[in-house]
Amino acid sequence: MAKNIERYKPPQRALATTQGRALQPSQGRALSVPSHGRRALTAYEKPLAPLTPALRFATQLKEHSREVDVWFSHEVAMVSFARDKRNKFIDMFGRADEARSILSNAGQMYAGRPSRKMASAMIGAMLGAFGAKADKDVLAGMLDMMENDELGCVSELWLPLNLTPASLALACRKLIATKERFAPTPAELAAACREAGNTLGWAKQACDELVDFVRRCDILLLEFDHDEWERPYLTPQYRPILERMLQLHDIYGPGHNGAEDWGEDDDGNYPNPLYRLLVAEQAKLALPAPDAPEAKLVPEQPAPERAKQIAADEWKQIADESGTKLAACKTTAPAKRTRKPIQS
């Protein structure tokens, strides 16, 4: 019986190899990934990595879409409304402006279309996730579908994709996460790319709406309630966004469409009073911040050194107050010992 058990014992070499692979993560070493798998992951991660926080923040802005997508007149009667709304959303202004910049850079105007090599890598990785073999005809059909937006527009037989590396990567990830059983067809990939592109566009629109809403509230306060406008920018928390806010005011002016006399005229003058005020505030940016502390001539000491200095100063003060009492309390040198008896 013992011989039969030994006959089915796994080979020691194979067992050692299996154990060695299982122990690799606990030894701080990453599991080996085939080179083609690493290339596929890199193809997805490169365009999507900067978009993840921007999309997360844009999704949070959806709950405020009805509140910020409103029009209001640029007049003194709206000061109270502008003050309340700016105070509510000014914390989101900087992040929304940064998010829409990231989403704009991922759009077709700046990012352009994915190269054929990049698209082949992304689609090949997606098909591999379904266990499908690399079929040259299927891959060629998907690539051809992506490269014929112009023909679709001219013939009006299908909608263009306006494809970007980010929308293609997002579409492939979406199909991997939601498609069941069979590999997607070219038509399903096109629908996923179109949906991904719309998602990125809606995310940018949500950021644009909040930035424009806060900016219009801000410029209204700049003209009709300067003290209230200036109040948050005197603090270190909101001072960093002031330059960007003034830059947007310079571009768009008040309201949605700006003003006819906005900017500098042919004679180098500023006919609009609000624009003159804006230029004055931009000139203040070159000055030190109002709440900035003055530069210290003596460098600040480390914490332990300050503690020692404080203790020494306190001891000196006590010594000055106590006068001679402190001198009497000082320990004197010990008297010299002698063996002679003390005479009474």
pLDDT tens-place string over residues 85-98: 999 999 999 999 99
Q: What is the pLDDT of residues 128-176, one digit of tens each?
A: 888 766 677 888 888 888 888 778 788 888 888 889 999 999 999 999 9
Cα–Cα distance for residue pair 99/208, rounded to 1 Å = 9
Q: What percent of the chain has pLDDT over 90?
A: 39
Whole-number Å distance between alpha carbons of 334 and 337:
9
Name the pTM for this structure.
0.69
Whole-angstrom distance, CA of residue 171 vs CA of residue 177: 10
Q: What is the mean pLDDT of the chain?
A: 76
Q: Which of 96-105, 132-141, 316-325 has the lowest mean pLDDT?
A: 316-325
The residue assigned the tokens 């920018």 is: 233
Q: Are 204 and 58 in contact (CB under 8 A)?
A: yes
The C-alpha atoms of residue 270 and residue 274 are separated, in whole angstroms, by: 9
Dmax (CA) for the chain in angstroms is 133
% of residues, the chain, pLDDT over 70? 68
Q: Is the pLDDT of residue 291 over 70?
A: no
Q: Is 225's pLDDT higher than 90? A: yes
Region for residue 55 given its phi and psi (left: phi exceeds 0; alpha: psi -120 to 50; beta: otherwise):
alpha
Least confident of 88-97, 283-292, 293-302, 330-339: 293-302
Alpha-carbon gap, residue 203 to 61, rounded angstroms: 9
Give the pLDDT confidence score for residue 314 in this predicted structure: 55
pLDDT (average), residues 14-42:
42
Assigned token pair, 6 = 């030994």
Of the listed ranges 97-111, 256-270, 316-330, the least confidently predicted one is 316-330
What residues contact 127, with CB distance under 8 A and at least 6 apart?
134, 135, 138, 139, 183
Report angle CA 189, 190, 194 to the nearest 5 degrees.
115
Alpha carbon distance 143, 135 (integer Å): 12
Side-chain half-sphere CA neighbours of 161 within 13 A: 28
Instruction: Collect contacts of 107-111 with beta carbons under 8 A, ≥24 apart.
Output: 107/164, 107/200, 107/201, 107/204, 108/162, 108/163, 108/164, 111/47, 111/164, 111/165, 111/166
pLDDT band of 60, cuts 50, 70, 90:
very high
3-state secondary structure of 5: helix
Classify 107 as helix, strand or coil.
Answer: coil
Higher pLDDT, 26 or 185: 185
- Binned at pLDDT 50, 70 and 90, residue 124 comes out as confident
Give the lowest-confidence range in 38-47, 80-89, 207-216, 264-273. Answer: 38-47
More confident residue, 266 or 328: 266
pLDDT of residue 158: 81
Question: What integer pLDDT is reported at residue 67 of this predicted model?
Answer: 93
Residue 204's contacts (CB-CB under 8 Å, 6 or more residues apart) are 58, 100, 103, 104, 107
Is the pLDDT at 3 greater than 50? The verdict is: no
